[in-house]
Chains A and B, each alone.
Chain A
Amino acid sequence: MDTNVPLGNERGGRVETVAYDNNIVRMFAIASLVFGVVGFLVGIIVAIKLYIPGFLGGIDFLSYGRLRPLHTNAVIFAFAGNAIFLGVYYSLQRLCKTRMFSDTLSKIHFWGWQLIIVSAAITLPLGITTSKEYAELEWPIDLAITLVWVVFGWNMIGTILRRKEKHMYVAIWFYLATFLTVALLHVVNSLSLPVHLLKSYSMYAGVQDALVQWWYGHNAVAFFLTTPFLGIMYYFIPKAAERPVFSYRLSIIHFWALIFLYIWAGPHHLLYTALPDWAQSLGVVFSFMLIAPSWGGMVNGLLTLRGAWDKVRTDPVLKFMVVGVTAYGMSTFEGPMMSLKNINALTHYTDYIIAHVHLGALLWNGGLTFAMLYYIFPRIYRTKLYSISMANWHFWLMTLGVLIYVIPLYWGGITQSLMWKQFLPDGTLQYPNFLETVTQLIPMYVMRSIGGTLYLLGACVGIWNLYKTARSGKLLANEEVQVVNRMAEKSHEPKEGWHRLLEGTPVRFSLLIFVAVLIGGVVEFVPTALVESNIPTIASVKPYTPLELEGRDIYVREGCYTCHSQMIRPFRSETERYGEYSKVGEFVYDRPFQWGSKRTGPDLHRIGGKYPNAWHWKHMNEPRSTSPGSIMPGYGWMYTVDLDVSHTEGKILTMQKLGVPYPEGFAANAVADLQAQAATIAEELGNAGIKNVDPKKEIVAMIAYLQRLGTDIKKMPPTASGN
């Protein structure tokens, strides 16, 4: 709606001309779409690999374990990330009635972020990874992310300080919370000690690493995939519906509640694990409370459309918005429910979680992103949307695609979990072979890949529609508008000097948000890090030998954690299947921790000694030779590539710096120790009938690590448990 603006007002507000930067908006839009397609495509590839393990051949850089982190990073940080910046750069300029603070910073932000994405796309398939989920990138890229993120924040806060509107609209607070919290999370979780340019070990070990990681992991969902998109919702829904937000008061209340509660919720990713119980309970309580502010946001978004529901029938922007916000409501209902220990016991490690996150990512983040694009493109290109019916096709392909994706996985997740827990009347497991519970899911895996393909098709239709829209108009790179500078009004003049310094609300809010999340985070992980009693040391748990350490690094490189957990929960169904439940003291030398979050394959914490070396030798090369019907890929390259021992000494030295008690001077003998252990394994394999094993190959280190897993505890005297 257009309105006339007075040339000034009696308080001294002046009419000024400002030019919004639409070019940067366009650049982020294109980046989001391009990387979105890449992310979805890689997702479909890994989905197909779950029922055709040999899909794309046995090539190392295209294996499931390496592509899966690429998929998650591409969708979260490249597709949704660029969408966030697109939404922030478009709406912030209009809410603040000013151009972005600096065109140079905008460009550095854009190109820096794309460079990080490209480096992720190169390093992750090469197996250069920290294995911390959604934070897999190695330390030099982590540093680059920090720098680019600071540029983003600088540009954003600079813009807010130059605003010509006194009141900060609620969306801006969500953007500020995003910037500050993600900065903190990223830095704390990425702390590590480099061995060399492409390898580092986490500053935290075992349970502490797990807690920091999921404190980060959950808040990445909260402050990367939720708060910025809520800000986007609060700008674009009212604009598209031409209705004010249902309750502005509610938006303020749920904002503060959300940022305060979210930071405590991380431990719900670690229920029934070796994490101290008080931390688990804390996570449960706060996760459950989160339903209130989350639904506050959903209700506020949907009720904004009261009296305007007829527009939802015709306007593609609102259609995508409504489905997106509804999916947000569903996801944020599931989240608190799955944080309850009894439900978590059922859903954790299963495909239920995969369905849950895809409902959020594909409909909430994806739906809002496409709604935003359909809103912005006609406006910055000064034209009409090329085709409404094409947008409707996209809408239905997206919605049906997601339903065909999530429903089979919800079903499959529950099915598998119930099969894991099913006992026979005589007290033995009904499905003692894990594989039985996997083959049951194959039809669901097929359907999910079909659903994902429909979603990608929809996105392609959307991109074509947006491309044709852009072609039919002309980009208004600098949108010149006349605004009233209300910051020049008399009543705003600060009474005291320091007020001018702080420049009112943005800085204050930034500080408050920072303090709120910092306190939440510190309370949660510092006690675990500092209080020794949390980690009962088990005398028989010893550091890994150099060969095992190298094998462990291969385990990390190949992304084994994407399908295998190393955390046996204290349930009868799990101890019966896997062995003694995992103790916190067993992980004190695990950097990074490898607890995992998904059991596509069985837990591996007690795999050591369960099978002979020869079994692993056959199984790792061709899993179906020992386990018919297995969906695990073969790792043929480990049999041909020599283990790189050039950094073994450095790795031991780094571990010593981190407090791992290797004997003084051990590093110098590390390679000799490694070779001796490898020779023993090769000899054992020879005795088992596998002749001519070259002890230099990577597979030998891998076998050494697998055979060590979870065995230390068996060496301790029966009553010496520290727990």
Chain B
Amino acid sequence: MSVMPLLVICSILVAGGFLLAFLFATKRGQYDDLGTPAVRMLFDDVHKKTEIK
């Protein structure tokens, strides 16, 4: 059972680390737009030979 404190400490570290990561990512604007990326990837690329007017 001597490993239990170690486990608990590590688990709290992991949970805390993820909370920080999530907050950091949100602050950087990564999750500001969850709509357009899903749509944007659907557009096919314009081939070179297709003239752009």
A contacts, CB < 8 Å to B: 1-5, 7, 15, 17, 20, 94-95, 97, 165, 167, 169-170, 235, 238-239, 242-245, 248-249, 252, 256, 260, 278, 282, 479-483, 504-505, 508, 512, 515-516, 519-520, 522-523, 527-528, 531, 533-534
A5 touches B37 (CB 8 A): no
A260 touches B14 (CB 8 A): yes
Q: Which of A242, A282, A504 contacts B42 (CB 8 A)?
A: A242
Top 9 closest A-B pairs, CB basis?
A: A481-B45, A480-B48, A527-B3, A244-B38, A248-B38, A523-B10, A167-B37, A482-B46, A244-B39
A238-B38 contact in complex given A505-B30, A515-B17, A523-B11, C-beta closer than 8 Å: yes
A169-B37 contact in complex given A1-B43, A2-B46, A3-B46, C-beta closer than 8 Å: yes
A519 touches B3 (CB 8 A): no
B14 touches A519 (CB 8 A): yes
What distance in Å separates the Cβ of A233 from its nearest Cβ neighbour in chain B? 13
A1-B42 contact in complex given A505-B30, A531-B3, C-beta closer than 8 Å: yes
Q: Which of A4, A245, A278, A480 contacts B4 (CB 8 A)?
A: A278
B41 touches A169 (CB 8 A): yes
Near A by CB (< 8 A), chain B positions 33-53 give: 33-35, 37-50, 52-53
A482-B30 contact in complex given A1-B42, A238-B41, C-beta closer than 8 Å: no
A238 touches B42 (CB 8 A): yes
What distance in Å separates the Cβ of A96 from its nearest Cβ neighbour in chain B? 11
What distance in Å separates the Cβ of B21 from its nearest Cβ neighbour in chain A? 5
In the bound complex, CA of A162 to CA of B35 (Å) = 24
A19's closest neighbor in chain B, by CB? B48
A2-B3 contact in complex given A256-B18, A519-B17, A522-B10, C-beta closer than 8 Å: no
In the bound complex, CA of A235 to CA of B11 (Å) = 33
Q: Given the complex, which residues of B lie within 8 Å of A15, measured CB to CB?
A: 52
Q: Given the complex, which residues of A lie within 8 Å of B48, measured CB to CB?
A: 17, 480-482
What distance in Å separates the Cβ of A722 from its nearest Cβ neighbour in chain B? 16
A516 touches B14 (CB 8 A): yes
What distance in Å separates the Cβ of B2 from its nearest Cβ neighbour in chain A? 6
B1's closest neighbor in chain A, by CB? A278
Which of B6, B31, B45 has the most chain A CB atoms closer than 10 A to its own CB? B45
What distance in Å separates the Cβ of A207 from its nearest Cβ neighbour in chain B? 14
Near A by CB (< 8 A), chain B positions 1-34 give: 1-4, 6-7, 10-11, 13-14, 17-18, 21-22, 25, 28, 30-31, 33-34
What distance in Å separates the Cβ of B12 from its nearest Cβ neighbour in chain A? 11
A248 touches B34 (CB 8 A): yes
A527-B43 contact in complex given A248-B38, A482-B52, A519-B17, C-beta closer than 8 Å: no
Offer 19 A-B interface pairs, CB within 8 angstroms, sorted by A: A1-B43, A3-B46, A17-B48, A97-B45, A170-B37, A235-B41, A238-B42, A239-B42, A244-B42, A249-B34, A282-B7, A479-B47, A481-B48, A482-B47, A482-B48, A512-B21, A519-B14, A522-B10, A523-B10
Q: Given the complex, which residues of A lie within 8 Å of B3, measured CB to CB?
A: 278, 527-528, 531, 534
A482 touches B45 (CB 8 A): yes
Q: Given the complex, which residues of B lie within 8 Å of A244, measured CB to CB?
A: 38-39, 42
Q: Which of B33, B37, B46, B47 contacts A4 (CB 8 A)?
A: B46
B36's closest neighbor in chain A, by CB? A167
B44 touches A252 (CB 8 A): no
Q: Given the complex, which residues of B lie within 8 Å of A528, measured CB to CB?
A: 3
B contacts, CB < 8 Å to A: 1-4, 6-7, 10-11, 13-14, 17-18, 21-22, 25, 28, 30-31, 33-35, 37-50, 52-53
Q: Given the complex, which residues of A lie within 8 Å of B42, measured CB to CB?
A: 1, 238-239, 242-244
Q: Given the complex, which residues of B lie within 8 Å of A527, measured CB to CB?
A: 3, 6-7
A533-B2 contact in complex given A519-B10, A519-B13, C-beta closer than 8 Å: yes
What distance in Å separates the Cβ of A82 from its nearest Cβ neighbour in chain B? 24
In the bound complex, CA of A409 to CA of B7 (Å) = 38
What distance in Å separates the Cβ of A553 from its nearest Cβ neighbour in chain B? 33
Q: Given the complex, which residues of A lie within 8 Å of B31, measured CB to CB?
A: 252
A480 touches B35 (CB 8 A): no
Q: Given the complex, which residues of A lie within 8 Å of B14, measured CB to CB?
A: 260, 516, 519-520, 523
Q: Given the complex, which residues of B lie within 8 Å of A531, measured CB to CB?
A: 2-3
B43 touches A3 (CB 8 A): yes
A6's closest neighbor in chain B, by CB? B52
What distance in Å separates the Cβ of B46 from its nearest Cβ neighbour in chain A? 5
Other than the given A1-B42, A2-B44, A20-B45, 11 more pairs (CB < 8 A) read: A7-B52, A95-B41, A238-B38, A244-B42, A248-B35, A248-B37, A479-B45, A482-B47, A483-B46, A504-B28, A528-B3
In the bound complex, CA of A1 to CA of B39 (Å) = 12
B13's closest neighbor in chain A, by CB? A519
Q: Given the complex, which residues of A lie within 8 Å of B40, measured CB to CB?
A: 165, 167
A17's closest neighbor in chain B, by CB? B48
Q: Given the complex, which residues of A lie within 8 Å of B35, measured CB to CB?
A: 248
In the bound complex, CA of A528 to CA of B48 (Å) = 59
What distance in Å separates the Cβ of A110 from its nearest Cβ neighbour in chain B? 24
Q: Given the complex, which residues of B lie within 8 Å of A534, measured CB to CB?
A: 3
A516-B52 contact in complex given A244-B42, A278-B4, A527-B7, C-beta closer than 8 Å: no
Q: Given the complex, which residues of B lie within 8 Å of A508, measured CB to CB?
A: 25
Q: Given the complex, which residues of B lie within 8 Å of A505, measured CB to CB?
A: 28, 30
In the bound complex, CA of A483 to CA of B43 (Å) = 11
In the bound complex, CA of A505 to CA of B21 (Å) = 12
Q: Given the complex, which residues of B lie within 8 Å of A2, measured CB to CB?
A: 44, 46, 50
Q: Given the complex, which residues of B lie within 8 Å of A479, measured CB to CB?
A: 45, 47
Q: Which of B7, B21, B25, B39 contacts A523 (CB 8 A)?
A: B7
A242's closest neighbor in chain B, by CB? B42
Which of B34, B43, B49 has the most chain A CB atoms closer than 10 A to its own CB? B34
B6's closest neighbor in chain A, by CB? A527
In the bound complex, CA of A527 to CA of B7 (Å) = 9
What distance in Å separates the Cβ of B52 from its nearest Cβ neighbour in chain A? 6
In the bound complex, CA of A170 to CA of B11 (Å) = 26
A491's closest neighbor in chain B, by CB? B29
What distance in Å separates the Cβ of A258 from its nearest Cβ neighbour in chain B? 13
Q: Given the complex, which residues of A lie within 8 Å of B11, measured CB to CB?
A: 523
A91's closest neighbor in chain B, by CB? B41
What distance in Å separates the Cβ of B29 from its nearest Cβ neighbour in chain A? 10
In the bound complex, CA of A414 to CA of B39 (Å) = 46
What distance in Å separates the Cβ of B3 from its nearest Cβ neighbour in chain A? 4
